[in-house]
Amino acid sequence: MSNNTSLTEGKILSTLVKLALPIMGTSFIQMAYNLTDIIWLGRLSTNAVAAAGAAGFFLWFGSALVMITQIGVGVNVAQSYGRNDLDGAKKYIFNGFQLDITIALLYSLFLFVFRHNIIGFFNLQDTEVIKMSVEYLTIISIGIIFHFLNPIFSTILNSSGNSITPFKINTIGMIANIIIDPLLIFGLGPVPALGIKGAALATILSQFFVSLLFFIIGKMNSTVYSNVNLFSKPEISIIRNIVKIGIPPAMQMGLHAVISMLITKIIAGFGPVAVAVQSIGSQIESITWMTAEGFSAAISAFTGQNYGAGKLQRIKDGYHKGIQVLGGLGIISTLLLIFGAEALFTLFVPHDPAAIKEGITYLKILGLSQFFMSIEIGTTGAFNGLGRTVPPTINGIILNALRIPSAILLGSAIGLSGVWWSISVTSIFKGIILYVWFKIAFVKIMQGEK
């Protein structure tokens, strides 16, 4: 099987880094899709950025639904590889795809039918922003199935130790998006200027292209999902195990998205500039969490294969080395967001002084939590690789939920910056608590308490 790497042998750090770098690159590529939209829409208008930001929450919620199969399939494929059980891996793959496609079609229908009600939830004050949000969400809802498929293709290959192929395919998709985005937003020659609708269409077309490439590669080369029959009869026991592992992280991300939507509703009370600042600021901050999630995926695959092979000491050593790397990346991100705040935000809205001023405040406050956020994300990967997805879910749900009352209280007391502080402080606590939790849990595993 081309480009596959056994994660149960060899030097730990080099094995982790070799697997992680392409996954991190793929994560940056996913981030680049959003950044490309925001950069071009920022040159269209601040309202366009706010509209895409509001509708974008439902892509985020879609990503939560994807995690049911992404985590459930990824963990089981990795553990099957650790046991040298390729037939078992393939069973999880075709059942996972069946489940993923079913969820995608149901969610697509929901978004399309209720798109006006969904955008109305935010109580946006500007009718132009509302109109653009609905237009953006309408197009996204029609093509969201590709948003569901591509992470599954990637995680299956990552779990088998092949992170190079997803990186190459997603790179091609990103290049396509970079070319198509400005073309459809602003128009050129016979191509009409579609504005925010062009941004949504460019995203869907690029993701369709990525799905097509994954399918072609699977047919032409020997990959772990080659010759998987999607029309086979579903195996309820397999699907149940996928859901059992995947539901907790999906719930965490879904509730995180809901909580963030509630916070956005609070922010919307400060006006469209505040909504745009949150949208842009979170995209810039994603430099950290997308990098961390890429490395976390490598930790998860590494942990899963070694857990399947019964190599617990190797898991412990791999976790420590992975957290050291992530901690360093978190510190670098902190310095970048604090000292480069003005330059970073000006890239997105160069002609809006009010947005730039508030954006600088956002990045400096959120910058303080980057180290702890990196630790939390990396530790979540280790828990997931063990198949123990509940602890990160409990930690994330409780502390994310605390953001709502703290955002209301601090927002009333000190203004919009109080909302930013509520997000940053809870991120710090999430990182500390989950790290300690993993250390305690793994001691019990090493002692034989399953």
Q: Which mean pLDDT values do the consecutive 10-residue runs of the chain (450 residues) have?
A: 63 85 78 72 77 77 88 88 82 91 94 85 74 88 91 87 86 88 86 86 91 85 66 87 90 82 83 81 81 87 87 92 93 93 82 84 93 95 91 93 92 90 95 96 79
Look at residue 26 in the predicted model and tell me its pLDDT. 77
Residue 140 domain flag: yes
| Whether pTM exceeds 0.85 | no
Residue 3 domain flag: no
Look at residue 1 in the predicted model and tell me its pLDDT. 39
The count of structural domains within the chain is: 1
Contacts of 105 (CB under 8 A, 6+ apart): 145
Residue 7 domain flag: no
User: Tokens 């490598």 — which residue?
Assistant: 298
State pLDDT tens for residues 403-427: 999 999 998 899 888 999 999 999 9
Structural domain for 377, as ranges:
12-446
Tokens of 150: 């591509």
State how far the alpha carbon of 225 is from the alpha carbons of 53, 163, 244, in Å.
Answer: 34, 14, 22
Residue 339 domain flag: yes
SS3 447: coil
Residue 1 domain flag: no
Residue 2 domain flag: no
Look at residue 398 in the predicted model and tell me its pLDDT. 93
Tokens of 72: 């459930």
* Nearest by Cα to 156 from 240, 228, 236: 228
Look at residue 95 in the predicted model and tell me its pLDDT. 92
